[in-house]
């Protein structure tokens, strides 16, 4: 369980790094990459919380967040590309 | 919790921290994407593997499904963001040596290349 706690703290650090880059990032692509990292951190934290709290229902959230995150990233890429034309 | 699961979780957590540090410290969009995509994809894969090793019974199937889907889709999504950023004319780092999309190849006619 100590490994899970350490992993949760590390994922929090990673999430904060993503939020910082999304705040200061000069371009929209920076913010999209930072949002991707934030999503990865949240998915990892959900998986670890499923182990930590012994709540198997969190795994459905992990699966759905993975799929929705892919669609969100693809639509962000279209947004970046279309803004210039 | 098994030892192998702990090792996987700790490895994945360190990789996620490395991705965060790279996202904060590298100079331009493409190198930040290089740090974020590779390290975070492998980190999340390690964390999900550790989770699957420490869960009982049928719950493992969902984690494995999420893991496989993540490994398939994360590089595709990063590739799309990188291509969109290049076409949007994001400023490259001044130390960039090769711009293979800009000088030759099919993309040279389509993409105007970095503007600034």
Confidence of residue B96 (pLDDT cuts 50, 70, 90): confident
Q: Which residue has the tokens 């459905």?
A: A60
* Nearest beta carbon to residue A7 from set B13, B37, B77: B13
pLDDT for the residue B23: 92
Is the ipTM, as predicted for this complex, more than 0.95? no
With a cut of 50, say whether residue B107 has pLDDT above it: no
Dist. CA A36–CA B73, nearest whole Å: 12
CA distances from A32 to A13, A66, A72, B40, B115 (A): 18, 16, 10, 14, 20
**In which domain, by residue range, is A10 found?**
2-84
Q: Tens digits of per-residue pLDDT, B15-47?
A: 999 999 999 998 888 899 999 999 999 999 999
* Strand intervals (E) in B44-84: none
List the single range of A44-48, B51-55, B108-112 with lowest mean pLDDT: B108-112
With a cut of 70, say whether residue B101 has pLDDT above it: yes
Does the distance separating the beta carbons of B89 and A44 come in below 8 Å?
Answer: no
Note the pTM of the prediction, 2 decimals.
0.85
Does the distance separating the beta carbons of B16 and A41 come in below 8 Å?
Answer: yes
Backbone angles phi, psi at B28, to 5 degrees: -135, 180
CATH code: domain of residue A35: 1.10.287
C-alpha dihedral sign at B3, B4, B5, B7: positive
Does the distance separating the beta carbons of B23 and A81 come in below 8 Å?
Answer: no
Q: What total of structural domains would you count in chain A?
A: 1
């Amino acid at each position: 369980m100590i490994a899970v706690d350490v992993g949760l703290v590390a994922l929090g650090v990673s999430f904060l790094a993503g939020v910082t880059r999304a705040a200061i990032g000069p371009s929209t692509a920076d913010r999209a990459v930072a949002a991707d990292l934030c999503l990865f951190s949240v998915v990892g934290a959900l998986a670890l919380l499923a182990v930590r709290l012994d709540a198997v229902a969190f795994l459905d959230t992990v699966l759905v967040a993975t799929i929705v995150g892919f669609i969100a990233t693809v639509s962000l890429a279209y947004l970046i590309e279309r803004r210039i034309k | 919790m098994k030892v192998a699961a702990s090792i996987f979780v700790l490895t994945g957590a360190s990789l996620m921290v490395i991705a965060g540090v790279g996202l904060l410290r590298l100079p331009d969009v493409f190198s930040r994407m290089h740090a974020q995509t590779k390290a975070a994809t492998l980190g999340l894969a390690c964390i999900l593997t550790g989770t699957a090793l420490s869960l009982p019974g049928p719950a493992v199937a969902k984690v494995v499904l999420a893991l496989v889907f993540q490994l398939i889709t994360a590089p595709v999504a990063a590739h799309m963001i990188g291509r969109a950023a290049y076409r949007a004319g994001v400023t490259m780092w001044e130390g960039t040596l090769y711009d293979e999309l800009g000088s030759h190849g099919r993309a040279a006619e389509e993409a105007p290349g970095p503007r600034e």
